[in-house]
Amino acid sequence: EDEQIVAEIMRRRFFPALITHKTWEGFHFAGQEIRITEATDCYGAVVWPSALVLCYFLETNSKQYNLVDKNVIEIGAGTGLVSIVASLLGALVTATDLPELLGNLQHNVLQNTKLKSKHQPCVKELSWGIDLEKNFPRSSCHFDYIMAADVVYHHPFLDELLLTFDHLCKNDTVILWAMKFRLEKENQFVDRFQTLFDIETISNFPSLNIALYKAMRKGRMKA
């Protein structure tokens, strides 16, 4: 079953028939053809398999996780694929990443959602752990969903990542997080994450070494 679903997820990706001056990959989600411009010079400008897993889940579970008119923030949005799919499914999306990635992120989001989405997504800078209250004040920012795909890997900002999850998450916020397991240090982040959040595995793909988690603040997990 794992291999069958993974094969279906990977079939959502396609490549240009002809070589063009811009490097891009195509995806089929939410009834749309999505074209993502990539760069190979940094991690955040490439579509990783965890993003495809999360997009597939959002599409195939759109009744249980109805995103229409919901406030969604994606952290570490990278190329923007998850944010685009959430937007096409009706959400009010804020796609965030580091300042050097925002140009490509904005391009992809605009190209794939303009005149197609109910709400035009917002692209905003978010450096984990920095100026969180200034840029995302608790009193006025409320997100129904926090989404993240492949934000845990070999980088020195795991403390800041956990702080960011904590700051953005209200008692009724649902976190949907696709995690690829790599090295033990990064894997230990899940244990630290569970000190603040109740966590449930809602999909697991051993052939990809990826798990998809649903999480809420401690004691607030809903059935």
- CATH number of the domain enclosing 114: 3.40.50.150
- What SS3 class is residue 85? helix
Class of residue 21 by CB neighbours under 10 A (exposed 0-12, middle 13-18, buried 19+): exposed
Q: What is the pLDDT of residue 19?
A: 67
pLDDT of residue 7: 96
Which range of residues forms the domain containing residue 89? 1-217
What is the mean pLDDT of the segment spanning 181-206? 90
Which of 27-41, 193-207, 209-223 has the lowest average pLDDT?
Answer: 209-223
Integer angstrom CA distances of residue 46 from 43, 92, 161, 200: 6, 24, 20, 27
Whether residue 222 is contained in a domain is answered as: no
Give a yes or no: residue 84 inside a domain: yes
- Sheet of 32-37, strands arranged across: 13-14, 24-29, 32-37
Averaged pLDDT for residues 75-93? 97
Q: Looking at residue 17, what is its pLDDT?
A: 77
Asked if residue 118 is part of any domain, the answer here is yes
Distance separating alpha carbons of residues 111 and 134, to the nearest angstrom: 29
Tens digit of pLDDT for each residue in 16-42? 877 666 778 999 999 999 999 986 555
> What per-residue confidence (pLDDT) applies to 223?
41
Q: Does residue 223 form part of some domain?
A: no
Cα separation, 217 vs 104, whole angstroms: 33
Q: Cα-flanking dihedrals φ and ψ of residue 2, to 5°?
A: -55, -50
Into how many domains does the chain fold?
A: 1
In a domain, 142, yes or no: yes
Q: What is the pLDDT of residues 43-69, one digit of tens each?
A: 557 899 999 999 999 999 999 999 999
CA angle 27, 44, 190 (to 5 degrees): 100
The reported pTM is 0.93
